[in-house]
């Protein structure tokens, strides 16, 4: 049996961000006693303890299950199944071609149609996706970024066909393009015109779709790329600062759009650090909005967020153990005060989740809500010396990063220089090295392995769905009024060369049965495509 070095032993008593923990937070110790003071109440500035005074005593968090695969019909069936099982909000996953503005018959889409999400090319597809689901009674989150404005317009067009007034639509589009340049890569256009689409969406929805959350600023993918918890908070809020600056520069007043900003965080397995991370993010955002931007509407200061458990922690080895990981991560999200939660399926390291895996993931949330007692009081861990110490420390580290980004000229400059990407890459490298040396234990991967692994039944996507989707798309082009479609696409292209809000033009194109790829192609003509700089 190997002997651990002092450094390795010490590493056991630090969080995944490297924050060292003492053996005991003794209340008599003057260095720790202040951590539990001046916390304030839930629902009060700076919202460390939550954005509502009664938190889950009023209503539970929204229980979403992220789903989408193959065709609109198959995804629609999964949504109806999840709603019947007690899901309280839908969360739509789109396939890669839809995410990057390619139609299913584009040569670059070959082999990817319907694979990691549902294929949506047109208004017809979107209608099939939500067939039998009244959009005035369900909250829908759409994980889409580069084509977010187009997918929102598709959703609006479906609502209009259902006879739903837009004032009743409730949901979220991710619409966070900056994190695509940092961590994920499903961008289309350069940053400046991409930000224009974001702020056009802010302005349009403020008047037309007032209950819609126009952006979900995402730390999730930053964390999945390998960042620490403190980096996740810092880079997410720095992105939010950039969006706020862009909206103000476009002529919007901060309190006109900030109440509809929302956030999307990851929940990892280091329970205490994750709970503290959410509390620190709330407090830091409230101070940024108040002190930097002069926001006065209390809703502008409230960091409301969705959480998803950490896909990067799921293992293909002994996949049933992922149920335990997901439970711990969901517990962290609820104790941290999330407004909405998705729990991953235990089989997602191997394939898209089966119905059984999705049901177990949902039941995990329901057990936490109805059986654990953690929702019976707001911020139940408030005053814990360990929690308050970690909250302060994560806030301090995140604020230091934001100061550094400010000195670099803001988040756009920091991204363009590769600074943010390098910080994440270094953190990811450090973690992988810790796994390889067993300083970090991953159960079933580098310790506690078993000789014979069994694979659970997996969801398989029929390759024939790509051909069927292409045939539907071709049939649409044959039956629509192509002269009318071409006319509105030309008007959209001309508008993109100017400064008018593009959302009404995109909606008109959608209602003329223009496709996602055709709309994106017209914008590519004007703005070009982004090519990432290499960072080392």
Give yes or no for a contact between 178 and 243, defined as CB atoms under 8 angstroms apart. yes
pLDDT of residue 27: 62
Q: Residue 132: left if φ>0, alpha if ψ -120 to 50, beta else—which one?
A: left
Kindly state whether residue 296 falls inside one of the protein's structural domains.
Answer: yes
User: In this predicted structure, what is the pLDDT of residue 25?
Assistant: 76
What is the CATH classification number for the domain harbouring 254?
3.20.20.240
| Block residue for tokens 């398989």 | 460
Q: What pLDDT, on a 0 to 100 scale, did the predictor assign at position 17?
A: 85
Q: What is the mean pLDDT of each run of 10 residues along the chain (536 residues)?
A: 45 82 72 63 96 96 91 95 93 97 98 96 98 95 97 98 96 96 95 96 96 96 98 98 96 96 97 98 98 98 98 97 98 98 97 95 98 97 93 97 98 95 96 94 96 89 94 97 98 98 98 98 98 68
Our CA dihedral for 236, 238, 240, 241, rounded to 10 degrees, sits at 170
Which are the contacts of 488, defined by CB distance < 8 A and separation ≥ 6?
505, 508, 509, 512, 514
Confidence at residue 7, expressed as pLDDT on a 0 to 100 scale: 45
Integer Cα distance of 80 and 76 in angstroms: 6
240 burial (CB, 10 Å; 0-12 / 13-18 / 19+) is: buried
Q: Is the dihedral of CA 167, 169, 171, 172 positive or negative?
A: negative
- Name the pTM for this structure: 0.93
Angle (CA) 346-351-356 rounded to 5° is 45
Cβ within 8 Å of residue 251, ≥6 positions away: none
Task: Let me know if residue 69 belongs to a domain.
Answer: no
Residue 131 in any domain: the answer is no
Is 264 strand, coil or helix? strand
Reading the block at residue 447, the tokens are 């310790």
What's the pLDDT score for residue 1?
A: 38
CB–CB of 485/509 below 8 Å?
A: yes
**Judging by beta carbons within 10 Å of its beta carbon (0-12, 13-18, 19+), is residue 292 exposed, middle or buried?**
middle
Q: How many C-alpha atoms does 520 have within 13 Å on its Cβ side?
A: 25
The answer to whether residues 438 and 447 touch, using CB atoms and an 8 Å cutoff, is yes
Residue 114 lies in a domain: no
CB atoms within 10 A of CB 15: 22
Q: Are 463 and 70 in contact (CB under 8 A)?
A: no
The tokens describing 12, both together, are: 């056991």
Q: Report how far apart, in Å, the C-alpha atoms of 429 and of each of 225, 311, 315, 426, 435 are.
A: 10, 18, 18, 5, 10
Helix (H, G, I), strand (E, B) or coil at 462: coil
Domain count, the chain: 1
In a domain, 172, yes or no: yes
In a domain, 502, yes or no: no
Helix (H) or strand (E) holding 63: strand 62-67
The token duo for 505 is: 């033009």
For 250, 475, 481, 497, the CA distances from 101, given in Å and listed in that order, are 25, 20, 22, 19
Which pLDDT value is given to residue 22? 85
Task: Report the b/e string of 250-270 with b at 16+ CB within 10 A.
Answer: bebebbbbbbbbbbbbbbbbb
Residue 309, class by beta-carbon neighbours within 10 Å (0-12 exposed, 13-18 middle, 19+ buried)?
buried
Task: Judge whether 366 lies within some domain.
Answer: yes
Identify the residue whose tokens are 């739903």.
Answer: 164
Is 505 part of any domain? no
CA dihedral 296, 298, 300, 303 (to 10 degrees): 140
User: In 312-450, at which residue ranges do the beta strands (DSSP E only) sit?
Assistant: 340-342
What residues make up the domain containing 278?
45-59+143-436
């Amino acid at each position: 049996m190997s002997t651990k070095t002092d450094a390795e032993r010490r590493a056991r008593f630090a969080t995944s961000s490297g924050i060292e923990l003492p053996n005991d937070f003794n209340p008599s110790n003057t260095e720790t006693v202040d951590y539990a003071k001046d916390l304030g109440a839930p629902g009060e500035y700076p919202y460390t303890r939550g954005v509502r005074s009664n938190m889950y005593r009023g209503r539970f968090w929204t229980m979403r299950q992220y789903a989408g695969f193959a065709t609109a019909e198959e995804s629609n069936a999964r949504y109806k199944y999840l709603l019947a099982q007690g899901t309280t909000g839908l969360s739509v996953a789109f396939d890669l071609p839809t995410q990057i503005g390619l139609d299913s018959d584009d040569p670059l889409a070959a082999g990817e149609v319907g694979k990691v999400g549902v294929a949506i090319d047109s208004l017809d597809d979107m209608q099939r996706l939500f067939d039998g689901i009244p959009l005035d009674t369900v909250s829908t989150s759409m994980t889409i970024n580069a084509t977010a404005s187009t997918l929102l317009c598709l959703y609006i067009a479906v609502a209009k066909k259902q006879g739903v007034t837009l004032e009743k639509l409730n949901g979220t589009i991710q619409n966070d393009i900056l994190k695509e340049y940092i961590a994920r890569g499903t961008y289309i256009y350069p940053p400046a015109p991409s930000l224009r689409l974001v702020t056009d969406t802010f302005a349009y929805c403020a008047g037309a779709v007032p209950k819609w959350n126009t952006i979900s600023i995402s730390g999730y993918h930053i964390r999945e790329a390998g960042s620490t918890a403190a980096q996740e908070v810092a880079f997410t809020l720095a992105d939010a600062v950039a969006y706020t600056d862009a909206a103000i520069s476009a002529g919007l007043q901060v309190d006109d759009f900030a109440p509809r900003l929302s956030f999307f965080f990851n929940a990892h397995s280091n329970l205490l650090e994750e709970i503290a991370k959410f509390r620190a993010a709330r407090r830091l955002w409230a101070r940024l909005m108040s002190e930097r931007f002069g926001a006065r509407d209390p809703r502008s200061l409230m960091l409301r967020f969705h959480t998803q458990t950490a896909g990067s922690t799921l293992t293909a080895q002994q996949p049933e153990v992922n149920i335990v990981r997901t439970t711990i991560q969901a517990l962290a999200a609820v104790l941290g005060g999330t407004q909405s939660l998705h729990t991953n399926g235990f089989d997602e390291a191997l394939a898209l989740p089966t119905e059984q895996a999705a049901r177990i993931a949902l039941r995990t949330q329901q057990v936490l809500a109805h059986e654990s007692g953690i929702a019976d009081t707001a911020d139940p861990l408030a005053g814990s010396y360990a929690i308050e110490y970690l909250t302060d420390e994560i806030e301090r580290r995140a604020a230091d990063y934001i100061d550094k980004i400010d000195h670099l000229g803001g988040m756009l400059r920091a991204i363009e220089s590769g600074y943010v990407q390098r910080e994440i890459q270094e953190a990811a490298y450090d973690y992988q090295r810790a796994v390889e040396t067993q300083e970090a234990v991953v159960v079933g991967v580098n310790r506690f392995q078993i000789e014979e692994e069994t694979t659970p039944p997996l969801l398989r996507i029929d390759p024939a769905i790509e051909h069927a989707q292409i045939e539907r798309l071709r049939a649409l082009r044959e039956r629509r009024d192509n002269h009318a479609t071409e006319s509105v696409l030309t008007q959209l292209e001309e508008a993109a060369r100017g400064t008018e809000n593009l959302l009404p033009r995109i909606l008109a194109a959608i209602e003329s049965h223009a496709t996602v790829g055709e709309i994106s192609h017209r914008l590519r003509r004007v703005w070009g495509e982004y090519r990432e700089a290499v960072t080392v």
